[in-house]
């Protein structure tokens, strides 16, 4: 289960709408107690796909930020360090799917980390339509995660 406040969820959907037609992305910092993760902070990130793709995914160099996202390693390290100083961890990543469902792609599955939650926002015509969270289950397949929204 993923627990997230309405305000933090709104931050994510706003980021997705403002980034349209490109994919947005960001980090979820929080705590984990057993199977329950609680989002404490949302860190919107710049989509670093163009910079990272040339180095890590040269075979996908024809794909753009409209179909892919990447979070700069420097931001990930900063989030891990600052989180650790405040007893928080990176517990997930969010990103949007412009004009596509809020379902993980094969690319999402290949690069997912089993311990993270993945919030995906479907944005159609610049408007957020669906927000779902996923985690990798057994056999490296995504399973839908229950989201409990707090006011």
pLDDT digits (tens, 9 = 90+) for 108-119: 998 899 899 999
Residue 63 is predicted with a pLDDT of 60
Per the structure, how many domains does the chain have?
A: 1
CATH of the domain at 120: 3.40.140.10
**Is 86 exposed, middle or buried, given 0-12, 13-18 or 19+ CB atoms closer than 10 A?**
exposed
- Print the SS3 string covering 26-59: EEEEEEEECCEEEEEEEEEECCCHHHHHHHHCHH
Amino acid 40: pLDDT: 98
Cα–Cα dist 87/110, whole Å: 29
pLDDT at 58: 57
Predicted local distance difference test score (pLDDT) of residue 76: 95
- Beta strand 25-33 pairing with 2-5: unpaired
pLDDT digits (tens, 9 = 90+) for 89-103: 999 999 999 999 999
| Under-50 pLDDT residues of the chain | none
Q: What is the pTM of this model?
A: 0.91
Domain with 140, as residue range(s), is 2-150
Task: Quickly list DSSP for the chain.
Answer: -EEEEHHHHHHHHHHHHHHTTSPPEEEEEEEEETTEEEEEEEEEE---HHHHHHHH-GGGTT--TTT-----HHHHHHHHHHHHHTT-EEEEEEEEEETS-SS--HHHHHT--TT-EEEEEEEETTEEEEEEEEEE-GGG-EEEEPEEEE-
pLDDT reported for residue 80: 96
């Amino acid at each position: 289960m993923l627990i997230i406040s309405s305000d933090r969820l709104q931050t994510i959907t706003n980021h997705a709408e403002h980034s349209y037609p490109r994919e947005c992305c960001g980090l979820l910092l929080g705590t984990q107690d057993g199977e329950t993760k609680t989002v404490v902070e949302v860190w919107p990130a710049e989509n670093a796909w163009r910079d990272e793709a040339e180095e890590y995914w040269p075979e996908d160099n024809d794909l753009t930020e409209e179909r892919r996202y990447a979070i700069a390693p420097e931001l990930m390290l900063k989030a891990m360090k600052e989180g650790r100083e405040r007893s928080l961890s990176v517990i997930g990543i969010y990103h949007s799917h412009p004009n596509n469902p809020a379902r993980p792609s094969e690319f999402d599955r290949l690069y997912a980390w089993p311990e993270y939650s993945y919030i995906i926002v479907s944005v159609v015509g610049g408007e957020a339509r669906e927000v779902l969270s996923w985690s990798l289950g057994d056999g490296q397949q995504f399973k839908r995660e229950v989201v409990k929204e707090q006011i």
